[in-house]
Amino acid sequence: MWEAIARFFGPKPVEVVPYYVAGAVIFSVLVIILLINLPSRARKPLIATVTFLAGLFYATEFFLPIDEATQKNMLTDYLVPARKLGSLLAGMTLTLGILSLVRVHGRNIARLRAGWYNSVALLAAMVAMVVFGLMDKYSTHEGAKRVFNVLFEGMLINMDATMFSLIAFYIVSASYRAFRIRSVEATILMTAAFLVMLGQVPVGLALTAWIPRDSMFDWMRLEVVKEWLLTVLNAAALRAIAFGLGVGGLAISLRIWLSLERGAYFEREI
Task: List contacts with other proteins (CB under 8 A).
Answer: 58, 71-72, 76-77, 79-80, 82-83, 86-87, 90-91, 152, 156-161, 163-165, 168-169, 171-173, 175-177, 179-181, 190, 194, 197-198, 200-206, 209, 223, 227, 230-231, 234-235, 238-239, 242
Rounded to the nearest 5°, which phi and psi values hold at 67?
Answer: -75, 125
Which residue, 215 or 231, is less far from other proteins as judged by CB?
231
Which residue, 17 or 38, is less far from other proteins as judged by CB?
17
Which residue, 87 or 139, is less far from other proteins as judged by CB?
87
* Nearest Cα to Cα of residue 64 among 53, 76, 54, 81: 76
Q: At what angle do helices 40-63 and 79-110 cross, to 10 degrees?
A: 140
Name the minimum Å distance from CB 56 to other proteins.
14
Distance between CA atoms of 270 and 258, rounded to whole angstroms?
Answer: 18
Name the minimum Å distance from CB 183 to other proteins.
13
Name the minimum Å distance from CB 95 to other proteins.
13
The sign one gets for the Cα dihedral 16, 22, 25, 27 is negative
Distance between CA atoms of 162 and 131, rounded to whole angstroms?
Answer: 25
Which residue, 117 or 194, is less far from other proteins as judged by CB?
194
Name the minimum Å distance from CB 12 to other proteins.
15
Where residue 128 falls (left for φ over 0; alpha for ψ -120 to 50; beta otherwise) is alpha
Which residue, 108 or 198, is less far from other proteins as judged by CB?
198
> Which burial class, exposed, middle or buried, applies to 199 when counting CB atoms under 10 A from its CB (0-12, 13-18, 19+)?
buried
Name the minimum Å distance from CB 28 to other proteins.
18
- Percentage helix, strand, coil for the chain under 3-state DSSP, each rounded to 5: 80, 0, 20
